[in-house]
Structure 1
Amino acid sequence: MNTYLSVWKLRFVSGLQYRTAAIAGMATQLFFGFVFIMVYVAFYAHSSAQPSMSLEQLATYIWLQQIFLAFVMLWFRDNEIFNLITSGNIAYELCRPCGIYSFWYAKLLAQRLASAILRCVPILLVAFLLPKPYNLTMPPTATTFALFVVTLLLGLAVNIAISMFIYISVFWTMSPVGSTLVIAVIGEFLAGMIIPVPLMPSWMQAITYALPFRWTADFPFRVYSGQIPQSEAVWGILIQFVWLAALILFGRWCLKRALRQVVVQGG
């Protein structure tokens, strides 16, 4: 355990050094946050049907996406791991006195946390200071906020477990492009990152509820706004734990099979 904590700490401190990239990322996230909300404001103004989310809840949903983008985006990638696999330097990883899955998981967790810490506070302040209906609202109660923190962290853990399959697939494909695009595009759509899940057709919502992606973003964001009741949020936390355990166990099994077939050529 000390090994993985040390890896996490080193990668976390290293990630905090990329302040210029964080500033550029903040500007981009603020821009897209404004654009998405303005689009939905126009749709809501000309819609005759009663929406399943209020405009205030939707604005909060979108700002939470931008604030915690490093937590929920599936296209976040560590090129160092890809290079280890494709170049044959995975042999050095096999010599480490620790499990590769846990080692990589700790690295990815630290990178996402460092990226989120650098960007979230400035975006949070701007989003709170905006006028209605463009602003980020406070959660209804302190209990709701506590449940949001728990669901967000569990969603982060589930997201990393899903992203691990991108790296594992490279053992067979030898290219990260295909698996990254497929998992990222499908996963982010089903997680509500393109269209919030409550605004999807009922048949599409049924698909999202059967897969793990919505538990990484849609679920914690709706818990924050109070659209998901506290009793339902508690049951959702249990489901997040189940998905996390299943994804980690299956990921470890896939990685073990992949390592059995690894062939490192050269001296």
Structure 2
Amino acid sequence: MRAYAAIFTARLKMLLQYRAAAWAGVGTQLFFGAALVAMRLAFYHSSNAIPPLPEAQMVTYSWLVQAFFALSPFTSNPDPEVRTMMRDGTVAYELARPLDLYTLWFTRNAANRLAPTLLRCFPIFVIGMAFLGMQPPPSLAALGAFLLALLGAIALIAAWCTLITISLLWTISGDGIARMAPGLVAVLSGQILPLSLLPDRLKPLLQFLPFTGMVESPFSLWIGQRAPSQVVPILLHQLAWTTVFVIAGRFLLARGLKRLVVQGG
């Protein structure tokens, strides 16, 4: 495990150097976040019905989505480095490493999501809470529960992204899955729209699917929609689906490596 920790740390340090890109991302998220909040507030104010998600919670939820956009499933594309290796044949070097290939790819995917998130989230927190209506967690217990659920979400998203990366063993280019999966998962996870605002008949299915553990579950703890005591079932849900993705990923990786042929010399 020491080798994988070193790889994770090295990749995290490398990605944390891209500060200009991070500030550009902060500006982008602030712009789109302001537009989404304004649009949702317009819907709230045009209706006399009591919304299932209070206005203050909706605003905070919207800014959480922007703050953690780099971590979100909307960016769950195959690892670009592995995609390049598949195209030029240098994936052979990956196979020659004295490391478990699945754990290596999982570690890199986790670092790829975490580094840009660390650079972007804190400026958005400061600006959002100071000027844009974002609220802090209602209590320290809620903050602690959110952080625990966020760790579970990171593991779940990394397992999902690793599964998407493994699909390159069959598709090579990865363009199709890179365009189809993120949009679908973003809708099902609550990134595009809070799941609380969707029809009640859909909620049991959405809560069962793994994608709610990526976005909606941890964010609901921050905004106070769920009590801190509910973090245990959230973590169990995340752990169960992370295990499913890891088992499926290892199975597909073993199958894919048997048919992998590196062409050229």
Same fold per superposition (TM over 0.5): yes
The 5 A counterparts of 1:238-249 are: 238-249=236-247
Equivalent position SS for 1:263: coil
* In 2: Cα distance, 1:233 partner to 1:114 partner: 25
- In the TM superposition, 1:39-188 aligns within 5 A as 39-77=39-77, 78-130=79-131, 134-188=132-186
Q: Give TM-score, length-normalised by structure 1.
A: 0.95
Distance 2:180 2:153 in 1: 20
**More off after superposition, 173-182 vs 184-193:** 173-182
State how far apart, in whole Å, the 1-side matches of 2:264 and 2:86 are: 14
Distance in 2, matches of 1:168 and 1:111, equals 16
Report 1:4-43 matches (<5 A).
Answer: 4-43=4-43
**Structure 2 regions of 5+ residues with no counterpart?**
none
Match of 1:263 among 255, 261, 264: 261
Tell me, in whole angstroms, the C-alpha distance in 1 between the residues paired with 2:36 and 2:71: 19
Aligned to 1:217: 215
Query: 2:137–2:143: 8 Å Cα contact kept in structure 1?
Result: yes
CA contact (8 A) 1:151 1:237 kept: yes
Does the 8 A contact of 1:72 with 1:216 survive in 2?
A: yes
Equivalent position of 1:194 in the other structure: 192
SS in structure 1 at match of 2:167: helix
Does the 8 Å CA contact 1:74/1:163 hold for their aligned counterparts?
A: no
Q: Is the 8 A contact 1:16 1:115 kept in 2?
A: yes
- Percent of paired sites with the same residue: 35
- Alignment-derived partner of residue 229 in structure 1: 227
Q: SS of the residue aligned with 1:185?
A: helix
Which residue type is aligned with residue 13 of structure 1? K
Among 203, 206, 228, the alignment partner of 2:204 is 206
Between stretches 72-81 and 226-235, larger displacement belongs to 72-81
How far apart are 1:135 and its partner, in Å? 1.2
SS class of match (2:75): coil
| Secondary structure, aligned partner of 2:234 | helix
Deviations 1:193-215 (A, max 9, x none): 11110001123323311210110
Q: Which runs of 5+ in 1 are unaligned?
A: none
The number of aligned residues is: 264
CA distance in 1, matches of 2:228, 2:189: 20
Q: Answer whether contact 2:163 2:245 (CA < 8 A) is retained.
A: no
Q: CA deviation at 1:181?
A: 1.4
User: What is the distance in 2 between the residues matched to 1:104 and 1:169?
Assistant: 12
Q: Contact 1:70–1:76 (CA<8 Å) still a contact in 2?
A: no
Correspondence for 2:2: 2
Q: Would the aligned equivalents of 1:154 and 1:240 in 2 still touch at CA under 8 Å?
A: yes
SS of aligned partner of 2:108:
helix
Q: Which stretch shifts more, 74-83 or 249-258?
A: 74-83
TM-score, normalised relative to structure 2:
0.96
CA contact (8 A) 1:30 1:66 kept: yes
Shift in Å at residue 76 of structure 1? 4.4
AA in 1 matched with 2:123: P
